[in-house]
Structure 1
Amino acid sequence: MADSDPILATWSFSTDKPHTTIVMPDGCRDLIIRQRPDGTQHVFFSHLMHSPETVSVLPGEMFFGVRLKPGAAIAAHILSKAPTPNSLSTLAALAREAASISSDSTEMLACLAVATSSASAAHALGVSLRTLQRHAVQITGESPDFWRQLARARKAARGILSGHHLQDAVAGCLFSDQAHMTRDLKRWFGFTPGALASGRNNPSHPAWSICETGYDAPLTGEHISIR
């Protein structure tokens, strides 16, 4: 039985000087409090990203976030009527009230993460491709190909950062060739495989955020079950 808690992780961030960070697509939506230096707050859900986005942070700003599991459904009307959370714990409580995760969503995304195609995922799940496409969009707002390709790109990037040879990443992630992998990694993360490899020994390299919690296919030697 799938864990019904929609929360994957919690986080916070603050800075006393101007800061710019690159946020990578991770297949998750976050419920975030952005508190300005004057104390005013803005509460919002982030969106599913198709490419990297740059976020600029002002000195004195504070962020509190609750990262939801991939495929979590969000009841926006609950968020709009709720009082503004004043701490990470009350933000998490609101996230649990406004979001939910179903076993169907978990199973679907786990299958897509390791599928060679959306059609093969549909076959493994025992549904038609059209049904899978309809359910994916209805539940997540994105197509099966979005999830399958994001998982493949994240797996490849994690592998390269972990020291895998580029050709091993191509084969292990089922890209047709290295040019195919290069196009996908640049589209999703803004980095070529070579640029990712150059960051292996640099923990401050922005690509390392790809290895944080999010939607992933397992690396070689890991195991994932869809049943």
Structure 2
Amino acid sequence: MSSLLLDGWSFTAGTAEWTTVFPDGCRDLVVCQPRGAAPFIFATELDDIPRRVAVEPGDRFIGFRLRPGVGVKGNLSRLAPRDSAEEVDWAVLQDVLIECPQVRDALTALKHAASTSEAARRAGVSTRTLQRLVVTGTGRAPSWWRRLARVRRSAALLAATGATQAELADAAIDAGFSDQAHMTREFRRWLGVTPGQVRRGVPFADVLQAKGYQ
């Protein structure tokens, strides 16, 4: 697997439906083939809040989830397969991707840092340099990345363990939230659900554990 690729996925809609896409810190290269039409390719942007996407029966999607910080350049339309989404060539798609090692290192340092200054020390750069690298390279502030990683880690843990109501307060503190109310606000803001809903196993709990920035 390429160092630029975090995961691959595919989906074929069986019925007309809505699906929810959650913020995961990743951009995806997606080859979409509507039923009875030619395939086309597009790159997603970073999501700040849950996004609802409508699909029709027979719509086919093949996606390549890029590692956090990997960017997309150039014209994608020329890379679309001619007849079928399955014909997409990952080796060809890599030609439109770009990654800055310094941005990659900054995002790695931010994952578990309690502050931007702590992340800068881990990355071996000044706080101002880290801020500039991250904003220029991703379009998002360091605090955006720290908050996203924290809420995704917490959601994945709650979905996997099914913590009791009494344990949510402890889980909030362990994850670095100031208290349970703070954790609830962050879950609502990023995921559109409460920690309790994730704990009880909402229908998309498995999606919250998908690979992403955490």
Normalising by structure 2, we get a TM-score of 0.89
Q: Whole-Å Cα distance in 1 between the matches of residues 127 and 150 of structure 2?
A: 19
SS of 1:124 mapped into structure 2: helix
Equivalent residue, structure 2, for 1:26: 24
Deviates more, 1:119-128 or 1:65-74: 119-128
**CA contact 2:69–2:104 (8 Å) conserved in 1:** yes
Matches within 5 A, 1:137-148: 137-148=135-146
Asked whether 1:37 is paired with 2:35, we answer yes
Rate the CA distance shift 1:134–1:36 in 2: closer, same or farther, 3 A.
same
Equivalent residue, structure 1, for 2:53: 55
Write out per-residue CA displacement over residues 63-99 of structure 1, whole angstroms, 9 at most, x where no aligned residue: 1111101111221x1525x342244463422331111
SS of 1:146 mapped into structure 2: helix
Rate the CA distance shift 1:20–1:42 in 2: closer, same or farther, 3 A.
same
Question: Identical aligned pairs, as a percentage?
Answer: 38
Calculate the aligned-residue CA RMSD, in Å: 1.9
Q: Whole-Å Cα distance in 2 between the matches of residues 39 and 12 of structure 1?
A: 18
Q: Whole-Å Cα distance in 2 between the matches of residues 193 and 49 of structure 1?
A: 20
1:11 offset after TM fit, Å? 1.2
2:76 aligned partner, one-letter code: L
**CA contact 2:173–2:180 (8 Å) conserved in 1:** no
Deviates more, 1:32-41 or 1:138-147: 32-41
Rate the CA distance shift 1:125–1:74 in 2: closer, same or farther, 3 A.
same
Matches within 5 A, 1:157-176: 157-163=155-161, 164=163, 165-176=167-178
**CA contact 1:66–1:91 (8 Å) conserved in 2:** no
**CA contact 1:72–1:101 (8 Å) conserved in 2:** yes
**CA contact 2:33–2:85 (8 Å) conserved in 1:** no
Equivalent residue, structure 2, for 1:125: 123
**CA contact 2:72–2:97 (8 Å) conserved in 1:** yes
Matches within 5 A, 1:198-209: 198-199=200-201, 205-209=203-207
Gapped runs of 5+ residues in structure 1?
217-227
Q: Which one of the candidate residues 164, 183, 186 is aligned to 2:185? A: 183
Normalising by structure 1, we get a TM-score of 0.85
SS of 1:96 mapped into structure 2: helix
Equivalent residue, structure 2, for 1:84: 80
Q: Whole-Å Cα distance in 1 between the matches of residues 22 and 79 of structure 2?
A: 30
SS of 2:88 mapped into structure 1: helix
Q: Whole-Å Cα distance in 2 between the matches of residues 87 and 42 of structure 1?
A: 8
Equivalent residue, structure 1, for 2:15: 17
**CA contact 1:7–1:66 (8 Å) conserved in 2:** yes
Write out per-residue CA displacement over residues 90-136 of structure 1, whole angstroms, 9 at most, x where no aligned residue: 34223311113343232211110000011211122222222111100
Q: Whole-Å Cα distance in 1 between the matches of residues 63 and 123 of structure 2?
A: 33
Equivalent residue, structure 2, for 1:220: none
Q: Whole-Å Cα distance in 2 between the matches of residues 51 and 5 of structure 1?
A: 27
Q: Whole-Å Cα distance in 2 between the matches of residues 42 and 87 of structure 1?
A: 8
Gapped runs of 5+ residues in structure 2?
none
Q: Whole-Å Cα distance in 2 between the matches of residues 64 and 39 of structure 1?
A: 15
